[in-house]
């Protein structure tokens, strides 16, 4: 039976998508023990996603860009003021493992593959790469904290009522053409073809991306100057505003990137395009209705790595070029036929 004084610390300071994929753990702990305090330690970029979150008691931010390790030590001092029922570290790096080790808690839980897990943790589990979805891998870490009936597999984020922006004219489709890793990104000319085809089908198109994508986006929009059917949101929206735009779209197209998981967190229709990575890695969409598109030819070199590269190792990038427009439009055509 749970304790009304339970307090948990969840550690995930990696990318936005990785942070979204620990939200089922938050939901599961809350379902099992609605009185529990849940603290999270994340990066500054993802912090906004938990503004007014109904189940999060406190958000701690690790700023890695400015005096990274000095800031880490200050975080340790802050967090050591608390006694935690359990500290759960979803990462496999020395720094977050060391932070977990310094916490006041009888339960310190992480993956066996984490650096020095035998020293930093007293409860470890296998990270089964290429066998399970990342959500399921994360949920393994709380299998001794909550019962099976409380486990929730779907990512979940909450859009505050005060989030309101001017949306594109309906019907519109979102696209997110960019990725941190270039080999996870379908070539830009194929995104241009997709946009043109969607416009011909009667849709407006909202282009999504962060500030880091602005330079790439300038190249993309050379093809669409003064086109009233294209709405440029790249670098202009917060993460919660991005969720708001996705929520009201007919469907969203994304690379294997954070947008896939953001869309899943509000159960939005999503198409995920895999280039150098593969669905079996465990980062597929989890919306009730979703689509996966892969290169239409078999490639011996795919996958070439777990996370992608800035450049194709073979200087060919066949996986990012091997999509035809009929293949890309198939999800829209299927949804249209369902409506009819």
Pick the CATH number of 7-150 from 3.40.1080.10, 3.40.640.10, 3.40.50.2000, 3.10.180.10: 3.40.50.2000
State the pLDDT at residue 4.
59
Superfamily of domain 172-339: Glycogen Phosphorylase B; (3.40.50.2000)
Average confidence (pLDDT) over 262-278: 97
pLDDT tier for residue 2 given thresholds of 50, 70 and 90: low
Instruction: Please state the pTM of the whole predicted model.
Output: 0.94
pLDDT in tens, 101-126: 999 999 999 999 999 999 999 999 99
Cα angle: 44, vertex 116, 92; to 5 degrees: 35
Average confidence (pLDDT) over 209-223: 86
Q: In the structure encoding, which two tokens stand for residue 178, read together?
A: 């960019």
* Phi, psi at 273, each rounded to 5°: -105, 120
3-state secondary structure of 105: strand
Q: Where are the domains of the chain?
A: 7-150, 172-339
pLDDT tier for residue 3 given thresholds of 50, 70 and 90: low
d(CA 50, CA 58): 9
Average confidence (pLDDT) over 135-139: 97
Is residue 204 a contact partner of residue 171, using CB atoms and an 8 Å limit? Answer: yes
Per CATH, 7-150 and 172-339 having the same topology is answered yes
Tell me the angle at which helices 258-265 and 239-247 cross, rounded to the nearest 10 degrees. Answer: 60
| 146-155, 216-225, 313-322: the lowest-pLDDT one | 216-225
pLDDT in tens, 292-327: 999 999 999 999 988 889 999 999 999 999 999 999
């Amino acid at each position: 039976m749970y304790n009304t004084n339970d307090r948990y610390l969840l550690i995930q300071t990696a990318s936005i998508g990785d942070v979204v994929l620990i939200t089922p753990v938050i939901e599961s702990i809350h379902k099992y023990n609605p009185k529990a305090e849940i603290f999270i330690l994340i990066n500054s970029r993802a912090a906004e996603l938990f503004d007014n979150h109904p189940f999060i008691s406190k958000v701690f931010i690790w700023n890695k860009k400015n005096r990274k390790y000095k800031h880490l030590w200050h975080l340790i001092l802050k967090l050591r003021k608390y006694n935690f029922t359990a500290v759960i570290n979803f990462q496999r790096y020395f720094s977050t493992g060391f932070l977990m080790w310094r916490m006041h808690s009888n339960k310190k839980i992480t993956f066996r593959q984490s650096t020095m897990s035998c020293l930093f943790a007293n409860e470890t589990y296998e990270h089964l790469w290429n066998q399970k979805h990342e959500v399921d891998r994360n949920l393994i870490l709380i299998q001794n904290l909550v019962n099976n009936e409380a486990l929730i597999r779907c990512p979940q984020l909450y859009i505050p009522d005060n989030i309101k922006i001017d949306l594109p004219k309906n019907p519109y489709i979102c696209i997110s053409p960019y990725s941190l890793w270039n080999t996870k990104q379908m070539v830009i000319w194929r995104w241009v073809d997709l946009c043109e085809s969607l416009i011909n089908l009667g849709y407006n198109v909202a282009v999504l991306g962060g500030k880091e994508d602005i330079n790439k986006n300038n190249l993309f929009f050379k093809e669409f100057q003064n086109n009233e059917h294209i709405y440029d949101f790249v670098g202009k929206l917060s993460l919660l505003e991005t969720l708001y735009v996705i929520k009201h779209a007919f469907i969203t197209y994304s690379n294997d990137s954070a947008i896939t998981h953001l869309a899943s967190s509000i159960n939005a229709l999503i198409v995920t395009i895999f280039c150098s990575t593969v669905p079996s890695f465990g980062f597929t969409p989890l919306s009730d209705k979703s689509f996966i598109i892969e290169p239409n030819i078999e490639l011996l070199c795919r996958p070439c790595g777990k996370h992608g590269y800035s450049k194709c190792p073979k200087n060919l990038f066949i996986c990012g070029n091997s999509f035809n427009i009929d293949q890309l439009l198939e999800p829209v055509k299927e949804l249209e036929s369902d409506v009819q």
